[in-house]
Amino acid sequence: VDGIEHALAVARPQRVEHPIADTPAVDPRFVVAKAAHVEPRPAHGCGRIESLDATGNSNGSFSASDMAVGLSWSQRVARHFALGTTFKYIRQSIAGASATGFAADLGMQAVIPSHSNLAVGASVSNVGPKMKFVQEAYSLPMAYNVGGVYAFNKWMLLHLGVSHRPVASNTAASVGAEL
């Protein structure tokens, strides 16, 4: 679904020595406020979704939207270790029904002191109670993520990651490179 997103971010950057690439970088100590609102844009461009009965006859149309507002914080707690979190307010609506909820994302990143060009990280996303549309409750799409990055030099990075989504019962691996 194509959509519209509005975002606002506020940060307090400070220059420090980057432990992986050994170049100046932004310190992870900052607070970010972000809001997103997504409305569907069907192929015909009208912003409405057609409702059909069991035989395929039109019942009119309805709209749907998703909104998330978050506040993020991160802090370097040691020379090679940082923690971060995001707290989110979530609202979804479809055809006049809506659900609201709260969730949090938690993460950490560590640079291996004996191998300053290697960093590892872990996070858990969408930790929170179930959301409820009318009488039906559903779990947020929680995810456990782990990964690492190796800097061969200042211009070449290799990333490996694994993500597990317990609600959907699936696990995925990712590999990436940056030049």
Reported as a single tens digit per residue, the pLDDT across 134-163 is 888 989 999 999 999 998 887 888 999 999
* Measured distance CA(133)–CA(64) in Å, rounded: 13
- pTM to 2 decimal places: 0.68
Residue 127 carries which DSSP code?
A: E
Reported as a single tens digit per residue, the pLDDT across 39-74 is 554 444 346 777 778 888 888 877 888 888 899 998
* Measured distance CA(130)–CA(102) in Å, rounded: 9
Residue 114 carries which DSSP code?
A: T
12-42: b (≥16 Cβ within 10 Å) or e = eeeeeebbbbeeeeebbbbebebebebebee
